[in-house]
Amino acid sequence: ETSVSEKGEFKKFLHEHKQIGASGEIEIVGNEVKFSYTKDGKTKTASEKLPENFVVSPTIVGYLQKHWAELVGGKTLEVRYGVVDRKETVGFDFKKHAEVDVNGKKLFSIKMRPSSFIIAAIVNPLYFYFEADGSKLVKIEGRVQPKKKVGSSWKDLDALSVYEY
């Protein structure tokens, strides 16, 4: 994954998924989000109006940190998440889920779940664990980019990602 920003503004997200032989791009052009996805030698494109609350995977942590006081205060944040292989944005909510103690350190768990009940039925929530002040992401539980080989096909994988500083 590669993310490009100009003057602190997100501009482009490039995703190369070597496991499945696919690649894609999400780019902000004016007030539009443009999508391009290539798999099996076929490229498909789409575009939609740029939503105010737009995020892609590399911008999620910064978005949560920017809105940290609102999150820990109990507010639910609604975003439109750019999904490269779907060539569209999908609604998700972020909400403070729990306060936990891990090795004597207080962490806040932020739950990311699809806002559509249809998508929520097939996509499990993700959990982002931050230090109490929101400064550091400690771990993420849930869907990850790598896939798991099951028989002759690739299946989605939920995992634990731990970050060390």
- Per-residue pLDDT of 26-84, as tens digits, reads 999 999 999 999 999 999 999 999 999 999 999 999 999 999 999 999 999 999 999 99
Neighbours of 142 (CB within 10 A): 18
CA distance 71 to 26: 27
| Structure confidence at residue 103 (pLDDT) | 84
- Per-residue pLDDT of 88-99, as tens digits, reads 999 999 999 999
What percent of the chain shows pLDDT beyond 90?
A: 87
Using pLDDT thresholds of 50, 70 and 90, give the confidence band for residue 9: confident
Spatial CA neighbour of 11 closest among 2, 20, 19: 2
What percent of the chain shows pLDDT beyond 70?
A: 100
- Hey, is 7 helix, strand or coil? coil
CA distance 21 to 98: 38
Main-chain dihedrals φ then ψ at residue 68, nearest 5 degrees: -60, -45
Using pLDDT thresholds of 50, 70 and 90, give the confidence band for residue 125: very high
In the numeric block, which tokens belong to residue 118? 């249809």
- Hey, is 103 helix, strand or coil? coil
pTM score, whole prediction: 0.90
CA distance 34 to 26: 6
Residue partners of 58: CB distance under 8 A and separation at least 6? 1, 3, 13
Main-chain dihedrals φ then ψ at residue 116, nearest 5 degrees: -85, 125
